[in-house]
Chain A
Amino acid sequence: MYSWLVFLHVLGAMSFMLAHGGTTFMTFQIHKERDPERMRTLLDISGYSWPSFALSFLLLFVSGVIAGFMGRWWSQGWIWTSLAILLGMSIYMGWSSRAQYHKLRKALGMRYFEGSKDHPPIEAASEEEVLAVQAKLRPLPMAVLGFGGTLVILWLMMFKPF
């Protein structure tokens, strides 16, 4: 039973990465684009992967928590550290995505999140305003945290150092 939960946990992690692929490409590509239509396409592609992203995260998280109980790992430091890193990454990435990419969605006249509310599209801003919002995008900190955090979590899971 424990082995099956670890199997589901790894499958969830792989599906989570697969679901992140479109968004990763978008974050690196969108700041190079000058055509609003191409920017909308990239933001749309990232948005479409949201259901598979949420489902795989749920599978990864729930199977990990249950495997932690079954393996009696909750008294060890590595599992709490990896959980803290995962939650820290999720909060930072969620906040950063709203602060940067939803501002761009709003400027492009797309559906967007502001605060904790989903807003319908409003009239698109001028090209200069769109480019000004685009110039403020900072994909590198998110990428470094995403790649680095994942490697550290994987190391904690596989080596269980403390």
Chain B
Amino acid sequence: MAYQIILYLHVASALGFFLFHGATASASYGLKREQGRESIKLLLKMRESGGVVGGISMMVSLISGIVLGFMGRFWSEAWIWIAIVVFLVISFVMGGYGRNNFDRISYMIDPEKYKSPRDKKGEEPIPATDEELAAEQAKGRPMLLTITGFAALGLILWLMMFQPF
């Protein structure tokens, strides 16, 4: 029964993670389209709030998953390790690519709030022009991130449900 309750917590927190991660995903699609600086600021806020609550849900899902691994004695099986490796790789890929684009746009919109390491050394932040901002927005690839994330999700879910090796 305890195993079932923790499994419930694991799935519920994963659903919560996807709900809040959806706000970040919507923000990345919106950033490709929106041009007004106020709208872009709002989308950056959307990304930040999705990231904070999504992060908490992900931690609960991760911890409950580790506990389940011990309770079900799965740590000697390959599928759970492969699922963790896929999860870590996709986190680095999505974080590295998606977050860099968000961070550069954040800095261009509000260099005072989002200081880069160079600014912290004492150099004056230079606000970006509308053209520079539009060029950075155009670099975002939300569809590529969606497809990559969805493929990884499918693979992790398959490993968890079928436990093939």
Contact = CB atoms under 8 A, between A and B. Distances in A.
A21 B36 contact: no
A21 B15 CA distance: 11
B64 interface: no
Nearest to A13: B15
B30 A45 contact: yes
Contacts of B30: 22, 41, 44-45, 48
B157 A24 contact: no
Nearest to B41: A38
A29 B39 CA distance: 13
Interface in B77-109: none
Contact of A38 (B8, B15, B42, B153): B42
B137 interface: no
B144 interface: no
B36 A37 contact: yes
A69 interface: no
Given A158-B4, A158-B11, A17 B18 contact: yes
A interface secondary structure, majority: helix
B50 A21 contact: yes
Chain B interface category by residue count = 35 or more
Given A14-B14, A29-B46, A37 B22 contact: no
Given A11-B154, A41-B34, A154 B11 contact: yes
A48 B39 contact: no
Nearest to A10: B157
A24 B23 contact: yes
A7 B18 contact: no
Contacts of B11: 10, 154, 158
Interface string A10-44: 11011101111110110001000101011001101
A145 to B, nearest CB: 14
Contact of B22 (A7, A18, A35, A41): A18
A151 B16 CA distance: 10
A37 B161 contact: no
Given A14-B14, A38-B38, A48-B30, A20 B19 contact: yes
Nearest to B22: A21
A24 B158 contact: no
25 contacts: A10-B157, A11-B153, A13-B15, A17-B15, A18-B22, A21-B18, A21-B19, A21-B21, A21-B23, A21-B26, A21-B50, A22-B26, A22-B30, A29-B42, A29-B46, A37-B36, A41-B43, A44-B30, A45-B27, A45-B29, A46-B26, A48-B26, A48-B30, A158-B8, A158-B11
Interface of B: 4, 7-8, 11-12, 14-16, 18-27, 29-30, 34, 36, 38-39, 42-43, 45-46, 49-50, 150, 153-154, 157-158, 161-162
